[in-house]
Amino acid sequence: MNVPKFFGQILSEKIGKKEIACSGILRFAIKDGGKDPESINVNELQIIFKTTLKTRLENIGVDNPNDIAKYMLSQLTKNHALFVMSA
Among the listed residues 54, 13, 47, 19, the one whose alpha carbon sits nearest the alpha carbon of residue 33 = 47
Spatial separation of the C-alpha atoms in residues 23 and 26, rounded to whole Å? 5
Q: Residue 57: enclosing H or E segment and its boundaries?
A: helix 52-59
pLDDT band at 19 (very low <50, low <70, confident <90, very high): very high
Total-model pTM? 0.91
Output the pLDDT for position 28: 97
pLDDT digits 0-9 by tens, 30-69: 999 999 999 999 999 999 999 999 999 999 999 999 999 9
CA 52 to chain centre: 9
Q: Where are the domains of the chain?
A: 3-86
Assess whether pLDDT exceeds 80 at residue 83. no
The SS3 assignment for 65 reads: helix
Q: Answer for the pair 15, 62: CB distance below 8 angstroms, yes or no.
A: yes
Output the pLDDT for position 82: 73
